[in-house]
Amino acid sequence: MLKKQQIKWINPLDLAHKISVSNYNQNWIFLYSGLNNTITNSKSYLGLYPHKEIISDQLLELEQDLSKRYFGYLGYDLKNQLENLKNGKKTFINLPNLWMINFELVIEFDHDKKRTHLITKDAFGHKVAIQKIINDVEFQHRIQQQHIITIKSNFTKSAYLKKLKTIQTKIENGEIYQANLTRKFFGKFTKKPKNPFEFFLKLNRASPANYSSFLKLGKNYIISSSPELFLKIDGFGKVASCPIKGTAKRFKDKKLDEQSKYDLQNSPKERAENLMIVDLVRNDLSKNCLAGSVVVKNLFKISSYKTLHHLSSEIYGTKSYHANNLDIIKSCFPAGSVTGAPKIKAMQICIDLEKQNRGVYSGAIGFVSDEACELSVVIRTLIIKEKKFEFQVGGAITFDSNPQKEWQETISKAKGITKTLGIKLSELEKI
């Protein structure tokens, strides 16, 4: 029987940093939601001491054991189990389609109430272990400088623009309304990073977001700063999704920044792009929600982050009596904002054009159980394995898309990660 014990408030970033430099060497997961967000109630989670790990290319094993709470990721290519879709080529860093962990200890941080809880069977023993880490571990203030040998992409700028035109032709022919075309960047460091958590801290400073996460899974590290909620399901069956579609640059000049925000919120093209995905998500949720319960709130809401403004909308529903949480996930996966509309056709077109599996990118990160679920969309995410790294950027292509602006948007979306890696945006522009 799990117990929930309150302890003295601990800054989650400080504790996670100390764990990263301590002698703890098992897999662990940190979900950080330190920014104010009404949908998530600003709670962060830290999972330690794995009890059971599900490492698989199939959903079935997870489906059979959701009485426990699992933390981890669902990779984009699980889509092939849900629809009749094919794979592309293997990605640079190959990971299984899902990696989920049930932990012996979960630390819950309530940012609003400044409360920390241990959720565990052994509250006393784990409290002692955590206190020892807090007392004994000192931060390593000298951050290792990383140097990159190579950085490449699955296609060049000219190839991207050509593929964009192909999508617009398919839209003109009535095959789809929009498609989310993505581009992968990958490369190598001169040496293996000593502490990949330092990249998480850098990314959190460069591009803070509501759904930041750090996953240490064997030799693999997934470092995410996602602003987008894929799905939240509470213990009462209330379901929420908050798709993002529509992006504008931020400016240091206040007037230019306000103008950018105004232009985004009033752009017919961006609003149409957002509305198409809202309709798609409403349809996906309706498959396993009570009839008439799915509603849209805060349509075309502007959410401002450090480097970008985003246009988002909120969709809510109530879970049907016959459905479980995984039914909701399967009917909505992958998130409509990273696919396009109609969903299946848009995914197939993107597979043909991108030619390479997305892997973790465009999937979901968070936790899931029979009782509750909270998953972010995997965007703004860096993956590291020893000397190798990869990240991916993309954007929705519509009939009205300006090719040069769409290409520039993908570069802008990479700003936080390139700053974290010490790469200049101009270097991406040359690839």
Q: Looking at residue 302, which CATH number applies to its domain?
A: 3.60.120.10
* pLDDT bucket at 145, cuts 50 / 70 / 90: low
Query: Is residue 63 annotated as part of the catalytic site, yes or no?
Result: no
Residue 39 lies in a domain: no
Of 321, 323, 314, 348, the residue nearest 334 (C-alpha):
348
Query: Is residue 345 annotated as part of the catalytic site, yes or no?
Result: no
Residue 172 lies in a domain: yes
Residue entry with tokens 């189990």: 81
Indicate whether 19 pLDDT > 70: yes
Residue 175 lies in a domain: yes
The whole-number average pLDDT for the span 236-258 is 89
Residue 343 lies in a domain: yes
Of residues 170, 184, 232, 245, which has the active-site annotation?
Answer: 245
Sorted by sequence, the CB contacts under 8 Å of residue 100 that are 6+ apart come out as: 53, 54, 62, 70, 71, 72, 73, 74, 368
Instruction: For residues 301 and 144, give the distance between their C-alpha atoms in angstroms, rounded to a whole number.
Output: 40
What is Dmax (Cα atoms) for the chain? 65
Buried-state track 378-398, b at ≥16 Cβ within 10 A, e below 16:
bbbbbbbbeebbbbbbbbbbb
Instruction: For residues 196 and 388, give the distance between their C-alpha atoms in angstroms, rounded to a whole number.
Output: 12
Of 51, 32, 351, the residue nearest 205 (C-alpha):
32
What is the per-residue pLDDT for 139? 66
> What is the tally of structural domains in the chain?
1
Tell me how crowded residue 21 is: count the other CB atoms within 10 A of its CB. Answer: 16
Q: Give me the DSSP letters along 49-115.
A: EEEEEEEES-SHHHHTTTTS-EEEEE-GGGHHHHSS----B--SS---SEEEEEEEEEEEEETTTTE
Instruction: For residues 213 and 73, give the distance between their C-alpha atoms in angstroms, rounded to a whole number.
Output: 10
The whole-number average pLDDT for the span 218-229 is 96
* pLDDT bucket at 246, cuts 50 / 70 / 90: confident
Residue 199 lies in a domain: no
Residue 51 lies in a domain: no
Of residues 104, 228, 354, 409, which has the active-site annotation?
Answer: 228
What is the per-residue pLDDT for 325? 95
Indicate whether 142 pLDDT > 60: no
Instruction: For residues 385 and 219, give the distance between their C-alpha atoms in angstroms, rounded to a whole number.
Output: 6
Residue 120 lies in a domain: no
Q: How far lies 399's CA from each of 194, 277, 347, 375, in Å? A: 46, 15, 17, 31
Indicate whether 207 pLDDT > 90: no
**CB distance 356 to 76 below 8 Å:** no
Residue 33 lies in a domain: no
| Residue 362 structural domain | 156-186+228-376+393-430
* pLDDT bucket at 253, cuts 50 / 70 / 90: confident
What is the per-residue pLDDT for 269? 85
* Model-wide pTM > 0.85: yes
Kindly report the average pLDDT of the chain as a whole number: 91
**CB distance 17 to 204 below 8 Å:** no
